[in-house]
């Protein structure tokens, strides 16, 4: 992914937030994830706090179709693991 200091990473369908937590712990970048699962959101928020990553990693309870660059800004890197299969090619 060629992550660089200061990058902003967006992860669509972050699930249990393990990817954004890993990246937040190991790279000097800002990470944002989104999930539609309340239980995954709550677990991820708890783990982010336990890891002391509140200033670097954030997740949102949000459907990817509600994402707006006008509201969320620009990102340098975008990931989407195991979610794109569920939405179908027409919705990419």
* pLDDT at residue 35 is higher than 70: yes
3-state helix, strand and coil shares in percent for the chain, rounded to the nearest 5: 40, 20, 40
82 in any annotated domain:
no
* pLDDT at residue 82 is higher than 80: no
42 in any annotated domain:
yes
2 in any annotated domain:
no
The angle at the Cα of 21, spanning 36 to 57, to the nearest 5 degrees, equals 75
> Count of domains in the chain?
1
* pLDDT at residue 4 is higher than 70: yes
Q: Rounded to whole angstroms, how far apart are CA atoms 54 and 91?
A: 31
Task: Output the pTM of the full model.
Answer: 0.86
Strands 8-12 and 77-79, sheet pairing:
parallel
| Domain enclosing residue 36, as ranges | 8-67
Q: Give 37-73 pLDDT, tens digit per residue.
A: 999 999 999 999 999 999 999 999 998 888 888 888 8
77 in any annotated domain:
no
CATH code, domain carrying 52: 3.40.50.150
């Amino acid at each position: 992914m060629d992550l660089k200091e200061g990058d902003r990473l967006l992860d669509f369908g972050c699930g249990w937030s393990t990817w954004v937590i890993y990246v937040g712990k190991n790279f000097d970048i800002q990470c944002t994830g989104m999930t539609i699962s309340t239980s995954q959101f709550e677990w991820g928020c708890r783990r982010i706090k336990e890891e002391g990553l509140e200033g670097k990693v954030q997740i949102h309870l949000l459907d990817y179709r509600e994402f707006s660059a006008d509201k969320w800004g620009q990102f340098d890197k975008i990931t989407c693991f195991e979610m794109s299969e569920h939405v179908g090619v027409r919705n990419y």
